[in-house]
Amino acid sequence: MTAAVVTGLGVTAPNGLGAEAYWRATLSGTSGIARITHFDPGRYPARLAGEVKGFEAKEHLSSRLLPQTDRMTRLALVAADWALADAAVRPKDLPEFDMGVVTASSSGGFEFGQGELANLWSRGGQYVSAYQSFAWFYAVNSGQISIRHGMKGPSGVVVSDQAGGLDAVAQARRQIRKGTRIVLTGAVDACICPWGWVAQLASGQLSTSDDPARAYLPFDRAAHGYVPGEGGAILVLESAESARDRGVRVYAEVAGYAATFDPKPGLGREPGLRRAIGLALAEARVPPGEVDVVFADAAGIPELDRVEAEAVTAVFGPRGVPVTAPKTMTGRMYSGAAPLDLAAALLAMDTGLAPPTVNVDPSPKYGLDLVVGEPRRIRSRTALVLARGHGGFNSALLLRNPNT
């Protein structure tokens, strides 16, 4: 079967714009979590978020695109541009049906939606923007990226909350296996607007701490919720043959993947994450002992942390593999989180350094070998990325270094 490899990265993260800035910040433990600036959060019980700083859309996008795009689409378009540049792909040089776009979304262009709902209910239907019909919907990023680069191949959009970022990459890989040469994939989400904030608060899982260093503490005894973030990553996924023909560098192969859904609550059966990990490793034919680092979902909710720790230790043994959660520096970015973790994993394999989990004092009860403090030197054969979505979605994706 055709191998699918990553040849380009485009990153828009709260602690760094661009893969290089993100990686520098991430290795040095620099967090992008702070008090919300997009709106005044004073009246809300949660007030911290990982906002993407210093992003000026008009520096990157035409004035024609700005009125028709939500922030998440602007970030996604720029991340896609950077990913293509990193992979040295010039879409105009390639057959248009040989390129596709598969992204994930969680909440669509929610801030754009709030603006138009406000127009509707405070002023009347005739004040609703002509762009509302697509600017907020879940498919908008795939559509806009395909238009920007003339990509007419198979495209798609998946929604599985925070697991979606891995599911999109897996769907991109399916299209490559069926013969498409290049698929832009990954996800960018941004939902830090008052209406989105109130909807997120309804989950009851947001941290209400005002201390950025104490708010999001997965696998810590003091874990009490998560901090949302915005941003994500777009990757260039390409058939191994195409990458070889073009003579470009390959970050890694998407070697294994699986998705599972938890049993309905109350049945008392084991959640599906361990099974997802096992299936992903089995597909790649990589034994647990050859997994060099695990990027955890890191919910920051004690019950969910326990479930994840049990799944990881069941597969790898107690303290059997280095585990890290650089999203402690960005917040949980919904569908954008896992693609950003993939970018971190690819850069970790590239540099031989696992980035740290910041602020966390690992609780020994979880039995995880959590990378805290300094980055840790690791072997670079493989990296496993885990992601879970609200309601019971579990996905696991294994990256393999083709040079080892």
Cα–Cα distance measured from residue 300 to residue 296, given in angstroms and rounded to the nearest whole number? 11
Give the containing element (helix H, strand E) for 84. Answer: helix 71-86
Q: In this structure, is the dihedral angle defined by the CA atoms of residues 220, 224, 225 and 229, taken in order, positive or negative?
A: negative
Position 54 contacts another protein (CB under 8 A): no
Write out the two tokens for 337: 């989180």
The answer to whether 327 touches 225, Cβ cutoff 8 Å, is no
> Is there binding between residue 403 and another protein (CB under 8 A)?
no
Of 28-36, 103-111, 309-317, 321-329, the segment contacting another protein by CB under 8 A is: 103-111
Q: How far is the CB of 259 from another protein (least distance, A)?
A: 4
- Does 32 interact with another protein (rule: CB under 8 A)? no
Determine phi and psi for 350, rounding to 5 degrees: -70, -40
Cβ proximity to another protein, 48 vs 349, nearer residue: 48
Nearer to another protein, 277 or 358 (CB): 277
The answer to whether residue 289 forms part of the interface with another protein (CB under 8 A) is: no
Q: Is 268 in the site for another protein (CB under 8 A)?
A: no
- Near another protein by CB under 8 A: residue from 60, 221, 261, 402: 261
Is 97 an interacting residue with respect to another protein (CB under 8 A)? yes
User: How many CA atoms are closer than 13 Å to the CA of 112, on its beta-carbon side?
Assistant: 25
Touching another protein, residues 297-316 (CB under 8 A): none
- From residue 46, give the alpha-carbon distance in Å to each of 111, 145, 161, 217, 227: 18, 33, 20, 15, 8
Compute the radius of gyration of the chain from its Cα atoms.
Answer: 20
Distance of closest approach, residue 41 Cβ to another protein, in angstroms: 9
Q: Please tell me whether residue 92 binds another protein under the rule CB under 8 A.
A: no
User: Mask of contacts with another protein, 137-176, x by CB under 8 A?
Assistant: xxxx-xxx-xx-xxxxxxxxxxxxx-xx--x---x--x--
Site for another protein (CB under 8 A): which residue of 185, 200, 313, 380? 200
Stretch that binds another protein, among 50-58, 134-142, 221-229, 294-302 (CB under 8 A): 134-142
CB of 261 to another protein, least distance (A): 4
Q: Give the contacts of 186 (CB within 8 A, at least 6 positions apart).
A: 10, 79, 83, 103, 104, 165, 168, 169, 232, 233, 234, 235, 336, 339, 342
Indicate whether 64 belongs to the interface with another protein (CB under 8 A).
Answer: no
Largest CA distance in the chain: 62
Q: Does 391 bind another protein (CB under 8 A)?
A: yes
